[in-house]
Structure 1
Amino acid sequence: MKPVISVANVTESDLAEPDINPRVIEVAKAASDLQYGVTAPQAAGVIHSDFQKGFIRVETVSYDDFVAAGSLGVAREKGLC
């Protein structure tokens, strides 16, 4: 199974698993260093080169659509991704 990266704009207190906060913050910092116009595989490579090498696809959904749907699965079913 390939690793999956999920990026969300949340505060530390919003995370359900505080033990993973340092890693999430580290990945978020790397992601914040992205420059406008990079491709999705290039963006994945900023976090880890293996993500760029094994990149398959990217799915996006607006925050408002995600919240309204309640989950990524429901957003997919509704064609919002």
Structure 2
Amino acid sequence: MLKRLELIFLNLMARTKIHSILDWHHSNLRHGSMGFVLNSTLAPALGLPLNPQAAKEAEKVLNALLSCMDILVELGNI
């Protein structure tokens, strides 16, 4: 296991790809998914009212982001 991890971190291209994927996740996917989960289910547990309109908008964002991810996988970029 350790040798495998060493190979990944020694390979600059692999490190770049991993960094790119994590950056994309943190700046895009998290926003869409949390907006949807918060406004569709989690809000009552936090004492907030449900917001179906915000959930619907966040779901659109999440679907668009997941479509982008599918395209990146098909192109071999992930």
TM-score higher than 0.5: no
Higher helix share: 2
Work out which of the two has the higher radius of gyration on C-alpha atoms and give 1 or 2: 2
TM-score, structure 2 normalization: 0.32
